[in-house]
Amino acid sequence: MAWRRPWCSKPALRRLCNTSNSTTSSSMPIATTDLGWRFDNSYARLPEGLFSRVGPTVVKEPGLVLFNPDLAEQLGLRTEGIDTSAIAQVLAGNALPVGSEPIAQAYAGHQFGHFTILGDGRAVLLGEQLTPAGERFDIQLKGSGTTPYSRRGDGRATLRAMLREYLMSEAMHHLRIPTSRSLAVVCTGQTVVREEYNDGAVLTRVAASHIRVGTFEYARHFRSVDELRALMEYSIQRHHPEAADAENPAIELLRSMMRGQIALIVHWMRVGFIHGVMNTDNMGLACETFDYGPCAFMNAYDPATVFSSIDTGGRYAFGNQPAIAHWNLSVLGGALLPLIHSNEDEAVALAQAVLDEFPALFRAAHLRMACAKLGIDAPRNGDATLVQELYDWMRAAHADHTNTFTALMENDAPTHAPFTDERFRIWHARWRERVGSVAAAMATARTLMRRTNPAVIPRNHMVEQALDAATHQHDLGPLQNMLAMLQEPYTTATIPEIYRMPPLDGDGGYRTFCGT
């Protein structure tokens, strides 16, 4: 792993590193409608070199497309009886909520392994909402206009991409996977030009925070050690409080992040999720999934599965996600070096010792997850082989990842293709022997399997059909139907077959796009 400090060679980007709060939101109107916002804005009290004060850009004709009442209630927002146009004005960025202090966060990142300067180029953080339960959530407007970090971009987002993030993030939430969520999608009444003309939109993203590995890279390479330390102490307090009293807080932060990321990636592998763009700026200190760009769910099992149009080399393929998480953590370790030890060689040795724990920790966590998918509560010798033999068969047979495990929950061995070949039947007999063939043992196993294996995921072809209907025919019905089906993904009885089956032709030629 490379610990050397990357260097930004472009003069314009070097100047950007020194850009502080050059644009303010003082001219933005304050919303007259009170939705119950309770902002604290603690990130805005960090050293000002880590962000810029900038407000959203007013849009032409905001209109509420989707709204998440359950999330609004969790946040402590009061929307009953309030006209949707007033909500749209705020969530489009045309009026600031009382108490908000909008900022754009500065960060850097390794994108496909290459270091670059980034920052919120099309988003502003309104502030941090304090909920009735005492939780703290970032409220971010995505697609809200240009900022000092826009890098010649228009700062806008397409309706299709924002609807996609709303759908995918809500699906992940109901799959019980840590994730950012979406409060609303608001259309802007303006056109956004990408490869074609698109309707514009703003997404209200709710996250535990937007602190990234890339935020630490930015602080390490372009700010002072004091600013880096302030960022670390803030991140520990907010997300990893167990590190605060450690003998070496920086090392304990790295270790805690590693454990959190392992748990997250294991969840992704459990449901066949492919993030698609695991750059260091998309790995958050809150250890939750966020930035739903070219993500997708795998149908036929294959570790080499890639859908992202920009991932031509397969760097972020399904099976590569653990290794990339490890690589990203090494970048975080490199950023923390000055805070780990004053002697760089000693700091490297300490960080390396933590990172060397990753492979064994991940293998153990992944085995526990895979065994749970098979109804095995406590792995023992031989179970890793049992799991791997099933995955090997699934890959060879092009078996559907989700439906393979739901089929195993049936009372008898599945008799339809692809479960009819001899290789699977031999494996199935071994699995039944391992779990226990008596009724009570199998019932216990299936209870665990039903908690672990979703019956429904956002099938790629169904996602595209719903987005086509919403953006081309202005019909939200298919999208809303999908959202309803995905609210109880572990319950098979109420899910129509159409949502559970992969496309007849597989995912051949299917591509996803980052949406920027």
| Catalytic positions | 281
Residues 358, 430: Cα–Cα separation, whole Å: 31
273-274 and 181-193: which strand pairing?
unpaired
Beta bridge partners of 41: none
Chain centre distance of CA 376? 28
262 touches 362 (CB < 8 A) = yes
Q: What angle do CA 415, 401, 465 make, to 5 degrees?
A: 105
Q: Do residues 512 and 307 lie in contact, with contact meaning Cβ atoms separated by under 8 Å?
A: yes
The burial class, CB within 10 Å (0-12 / 13-18 / 19+), for 186 is buried
| Closest of 98, 22, 93 to residue 57, by C-alpha | 93
Q: Are 96 and 181 in contact (CB under 8 A)?
A: no
Q: Is the CB of residue 272 less than 8 Å from the CB of residue 298?
A: yes
Helix (H) or strand (E) holding 242: none
Under 8 Å between Cβ of 419 and 431: no
Report the length, in residues, of the chain: 516
Q: Which residues pair with 198 in a beta bridge?
A: 192
Q: What is the DSSP letter of 319?
A: G
How far is C-alpha 103 from the chain's CA centre?
21
Cβ neighbours of 96 (radius 10 Å): 21
CA distance 172 to 82: 29
Q: Collapsing DSSP states into helix, strand and coil, what is residue 53?
A: strand
**What is the DSSP pairing of strand 63-67 with strand 108-111?**
unpaired
Among 383, 396, 375, 368, residue whose Cα is nearest residue 303: 396
Name the amino acid, one letter, at 122: R
Question: Sign of the CA dihedral 193, 195, 201, 207?
Answer: negative
Given the DSSP bridges, would you call strands 197-207 and 157-158 parallel, antiparallel or unpaired? antiparallel
Helix 321-340 crosses helix 358-373 at what angle (to 10 degrees)? 140
